[in-house]
Amino acid sequence: MRTQSMAQTFPELEKGGLVQRTPDPRDGRRMLISA
């Protein structure tokens, strides 16, 4: 899946409570995803 597609998909998954995003403590540009 392309990065752009994931950027559109993750907000919907977050709203549904299926995933959670947290900032990566080692790289402020990245997000860690947990299910």
Q: Which helix (H) or strand (E) holds 32?
A: strand 27-34
Q: What is the pLDDT of residue 17?
A: 94
Nearest alpha carbon to residue 19 among 6, 30, 10: 10
Mean pLDDT of the residues in the chain? 90
pTM here is 0.60
Q: What is the pLDDT of residue 31?
A: 87
Give the residues of the chain that fall short of pLDDT 70: none
Nearest alpha carbon to residue 20 among 29, 31, 30, 28: 31
For residue 10, what is the DSSP state? H
Q: What is the pLDDT of residue 3?
A: 79
Please state, in angstroms and as integers, the Cα–Cα distance from residue 29 to each residue in 7, 16, 20, 24, 25, following that order: 14, 24, 16, 8, 10
